[in-house]
Structure 1
Amino acid sequence: MSAGASLGKLPYVVTLAGAGTLAIEMIAPRLLAPAFGTSQPIWAAVIGMTLLYLAIGYHLGGRWADGPRGTDPDMVGRIIVWAGVATALIAPVAPPLISGARLALQALEVGSFVGALIIALILFAAPIILLAAVSPFVSTLAVSVTAPERVGRVLGRLSMYATMGSLAGTFIAALWLIPLIGTSISLLTIAGLLIVLGVWAGTQPRRALWLLLVAVLMGWRLINGPAALAAGCQQCTVQKTIESANNTIQVATRPHPIHGMQTLLLLNEGMAVHSVANADGMRSGNAVDMLTDGGPWDYFAIAPYVLPRQQVQSIRKMAMIGSAAGTGTAQFLAIHGPDAEVDAVEIDPAIVAVARQSFGMNDSQTPNGNPNYRVHVADGRTWLAAQSGTYDIIGVDAYHQPYIPFHLTTVEFFQMAKQRLNANGALVLNAGLGANGDIRLAQALATTMRRVFTSVFVLETSSYGNWMLIGTIAPIGEGAANFAENYQSMEDPAMRIVMEKTQGFPFLQGDDGSMVLYDDHAPVEQLVDEMIFGTITQ
């Protein structure tokens, strides 16, 4: 193969190498999410380490290009094949490592957790460094056959090709590969394509034998399915694991002594239960059979009863932001009847699909579904901003450490929600406490709500260790007394079961220097990180 013929491939080589680099970078946080979450610090770590690897690769590539093989086109092909092999090896190595990190976090072993994060990030070093090294080689090859007066133009064009390839790799990985085939198959697909590219760019066809490694790993993955993380709940058995563009989704089951078999929704690191469906409840449609023994979902429907003289028949309309598989909304409809209205908002369409398949969600888009039960696939705040109607209850169940959407925690968000409440309506927010009952995040949320709502009241869940924060436009007054009075007149058996186990208190702080969260400054991720690492280093 002549040098001239090989150099004619350089624009394609730099374009596809750039695409591979950014595709791998986009897959990295999705691969890490099951153990480390998707918070801004994790993205910062991925981006920062990627930039470091690129810098190392550019430096090494420049040194290699100045060596005796700097104008050998085959060297470019060899480097790209190495990058493909290194990418393929991530697929089998990463899952057990990440599962170990998740277990370390559960066991509060900070050294193991941080060590696993560092090792997981190092997994991506080799392919990104090698792909970065391609650029100096390509530049050297281009300069060697380019007239001096055209060097700047040629190098600028090659940089443009590499950048456009990176742009394509970013969107192809995020919008097509990961949602369609998942992270591990995406990595192996990219690995195979890089090996093919390297063979095409070089002069040694026998390097195509590395595709056998990719084929073996691909077969192993297809036969064994995605690596299932151990369910983060007692006596749970994972039934299916699904990768979406937003989450690693697990559907698990466990026996319950009263409600029969329960189906549970676990996301990402699997350390929290996001939805529960009781087999008895799915069969009977009775609200009593749907209760979760004091889980946070039981408290959305009872929250307005901290206001005086509330009645079941006066509460008819609910919006739920972060509805997951629909535990809270199903209870609301079972209590208030099919004529009540629910707007459920969930950002991940794959979770909605799982809710319909495995949790019996009977919304307006299912056959013979309830036309008053509307599910919206959207960001909660974006959806709320577009609404014009008002609600008796607005539930927010979109928070879970270590990843919390900051734009759903701020004064501006609560002001928007307040505008969508009826005069006697209530915003109900599920604020999970940290390990060992750390209330700093819940206090920050409650303090922020106090800047917007007339009253803020706290209900303590009898299970799962949560605070349910209730913000109202109307004054609550003696919330505990109101709650007790409403309980005495309550006829609905499910509501009575939950209310009789409930304790609460007014949140009176808010002007004592506690953190108030605004769109411009809402360091919730920093606060959560401090809570997590403060606990595991004690």
Structure 2
Amino acid sequence: MTEKKNNYILLTVFISGMTTLGVELSAIRLIAPFFGTSDIIWANLIGLVLIYLSIGYFVGGRWADTDPRHSTFYQIIAWGAFLTGLIPFVAMPILRWSVEGFATFNAGILIGSFVAVLILFSIPMTLLGMASPFAIRLAVTNVGGTGKIAGSIYALSTLGSILGTFLPGLILIPNIGTRYTFLFFSIVLLIVAIGGLLSQSKSYGVIYLCLMVILIILAIYFPNRPIKINERAVYETESRYNYIQVIKANDEYLLYLNEGTGIHSIYRPHAILAYGIWDYFLIVPFFNDPPHTTEHVNSLLVIGSAAGTISKQYTAVYGKIPIDGVEIDPEISRVGYDWFAMNEPNVTTINEDGRFYLANIDRKYDVISVDAYRPPYIPFQLTSQEFFQEIYDHLNDDGIVAINAGRSAHDYSLVIALGSTMKSVFPNVYVLDAPSFESDLGNSLVIASKQPTKLLNVVNNAALVENPHLHDVFNRVINFSRVWEITCQANHPFVPGFGGDLLDVLPSACIPPFTDDKAPIEQVVHGLIFRYILNQ
């Protein structure tokens, strides 16, 4: 009988370990549509979960010594499972409250709603943390076998955690969504706990069946609503990487990801130009020495192609040239096919990491555009000196690379970091501040040429262009944008070009280039965001 009880305890520990890690990884997906998935979000979540588990280990061990009964153990597990299932129902109103904070950049609302959600995990994770020490106390009947039993319990708990690590992202969330993923882990663990209670007392087991009934009722009578309520939303989904939302504004389709602070693609069925940062990628080849015409542009690589805005524009302006679009999230590409008419026959979509793609091809391009930076989560491997050397090696002799970088009106820290690193590889680096560069938030293109070039090349080449779409973009660049150069020279690290004076807040020198070994991009981006919020 004792061996049978111990086997069931081991099963409970395994499922509890699976639930603990499954809930932790599902938690980031619960939060991502509202706060993103930056390193600082991950750090807060992981750190607090570890604190809750530590409290559970501490309290669970002492509780087990005070009341070493199987029924107590299974009741603790049952309540931990039940409260886990309640998390998405209670959290969503708080998370939707955070949308107001993003709309007004109210730091109090943002911090308050984030902390409130994290506190929701405190009790269930603490209760789940009690499982292992309590299980050891119940399973040990002979001091001589304590080590063996403790080792078995921690091994099974870890094996369960491994399963809980893979289930949410690879299977559950893409197929049933975040809410039902929480319910899955909750109900599976609750079934195990109720089974243990029934073996001790049928009356206990029947009573705790009520918890299961409550969760089922919640799932039936409070079905999935849109994750982020927006009356203009026409589609939303969750992928392995992102929360994805498509908004229809008049005749335009807009792609939003995660917390939705920026538009990642735009589709205008009856127009070519988007009148956003994407348009300026069209004119970057003309930073080459004149005469440089559209006939010189015969290939394009887009890293971070999203739903295909840049590819669609290049096809319309330069013809059906070969275009490779690299997008790590295949679900975003599918949304591009379904909602953004990403169906150009000359465009090949590759769903993998941009750095990995570059490392495994030998093809060269006339233009490489990088639109994969989505603050606050910018992949460090796409900001390093080694990455830009890979780009340099995959450009034709007159090749150009352009990178979309976010900034505020008075904080160019990200632009400077990227430009300084690119200057360590390329002979010339320019910055094109999109029109309305004095507004609170904006974008800049950081542009680098493989051959030595001059800043005014773009003005001289503009006179040779006949395409009306390029004329439109050139007009905005020359008359309404600010273009300047990053030289990283000791006396003049930044040189003005045209469209406006340099910012007084620019540093006195370039910063050391980022490398694969040291690329503190998180510090740069988080500092930019916090400074902006605090100044509002």
Normalised TM-score (structure 2): 0.90
- The one-character-per-residue Cα deviations of 1:243-287 (angstroms, maximum 9, x if unpaired) are 1111000000102xxxxx00010000011100000121xxxxxxx
1:51 aligns with 2:56: no
**1:122-161 aligned within 5 A:** 122-144=119-141, 147-161=142-156
Distance 2:221 2:424 in 1: 55
- SS of equivalent to 1:187: helix
Identity %: 36
- The one-character-per-residue Cα deviations of 1:61-118 (angstroms, maximum 9, x if unpaired) are 1111011x31x21112211110121111111122222232243133222222222222
- SS of equivalent to 1:290: coil
- The answer as to whether partners of 2:84 and 2:124 remain within 8 angstroms in 1 is yes
- The answer as to whether partners of 1:185 and 1:221 remain within 8 angstroms in 2 is no
- The one-character-per-residue Cα deviations of 1:137-158 (angstroms, maximum 9, x if unpaired) are 11111113xx332221122111
- 1:525 maps to what in 2? 522
- The one-character-per-residue Cα deviations of 1:186-228 (angstroms, maximum 9, x if unpaired) are 0111111121111012232221121222212222453x43322
Distance 1:510 1:248, change over 3 A: farther
In the alignment, structure 1 segments of 5+ residues that lack a partner are: 231-235, 256-260, 281-288, 364-369
- 2:262 maps to what in 1? 272
- SS of equivalent to 2:300: strand
In the alignment, structure 2 segments of 5+ residues that lack a partner are: 199-203, 491-508
- SS of equivalent to 1:157: helix
1:410 aligns with 2:384: yes
**Which letter maps to 1:428?**
A
Deviation of 1:48 (Å) = 1.0
CA RMSD, 1 decimal: 1.7
- SS of equivalent to 1:489: coil
Distance 1:500 1:513 in 2: 30
**Which letter maps to 1:494?**
H
- The answer as to whether partners of 2:76 and 2:127 remain within 8 angstroms in 1 is yes
1:213 aligns with 2:214: yes
- 2:280 maps to what in 1? 299
- The one-character-per-residue Cα deviations of 1:310-351 (angstroms, maximum 9, x if unpaired) are 11011010000000000001110111212x000000010110
Deviation of 1:420 (Å) = 0.3
**Which letter maps to 2:431?**
V
Of 452, 460, 464, the residue aligned with 1:475 is 452
Of 303, 316, 326, the residue aligned with 1:334 is 316
**1:384-403 aligned within 5 A:** 384-403=358-377
1:456 aligns with 2:433: no
Q: How many residues align?
A: 502
- SS of equivalent to 1:433: strand
**1:336-351 aligned within 5 A:** 336-338=318-320, 340-351=321-332
**Which letter maps to 1:355?**
G
Distance 1:515 1:210 in 2: 58
- The one-character-per-residue Cα deviations of 1:472-515 (angstroms, maximum 9, x if unpaired) are 111112x22x2222111111111111111103222233662525
- The answer as to whether partners of 1:424 and 1:473 remain within 8 angstroms in 2 is yes
Of 199, 207, 217, the residue aligned with 2:194 is 199
**Which letter maps to 1:458?**
V
Moved more, 498-507 or 244-253: 498-507
Deviation of 1:438 (Å) = 2.0
**Which letter maps to 2:391?**
A
Distance 2:209 2:235 in 1: 35
Moved more, 305-314 or 416-425: 305-314
Moved more, 110-119 or 298-307: 110-119
**Which letter maps to 2:443?**
N
- The one-character-per-residue Cα deviations of 1:32-57 (angstroms, maximum 9, x if unpaired) are 11222211121111111111111100
- 2:253 maps to what in 1? 263
**Which letter maps to 1:157?**
S
Distance 2:382 2:218 in 1: 41
**1:473-512 aligned within 5 A:** 473-477=450-454, 479-480=455-456, 482-502=457-477, 503=481, 504-509=483-488, 512=509
- 2:502 maps to what in 1? none
- 2:500 maps to what in 1? none
Deviation of 1:533 (Å) = 1.4
- 2:443 maps to what in 1? 466
**Which letter maps to 1:316?**
N
**Which letter maps to 1:254?**
A
- 1:258 maps to what in 2? none
- The answer as to whether partners of 2:420 and 2:510 remain within 8 angstroms in 1 is no
- The answer as to whether partners of 1:450 and 1:510 remain within 8 angstroms in 2 is no
Distance 2:445 2:9 in 1: 59
Distance 1:335 1:387, change over 3 A: same
Deviation of 1:4 (Å) = 5.6
- 2:102 maps to what in 1? 105
Deviation of 1:417 (Å) = 0.4
- 1:375 maps to what in 2? 349
- 1:325 maps to what in 2? 307
- 1:226 maps to what in 2? 226
**Which letter maps to 1:137?**
F
- 2:403 maps to what in 1? 429
- 1:38 maps to what in 2? 37
Distance 2:197 2:2 in 1: 11
Of 188, 193, 201, the residue aligned with 2:183 is 188
- The answer as to whether partners of 1:301 and 1:332 remain within 8 angstroms in 2 is yes
Normalised TM-score (structure 1): 0.90
**Which letter maps to 1:156?**
G
- The answer as to whether partners of 1:341 and 1:373 remain within 8 angstroms in 2 is yes
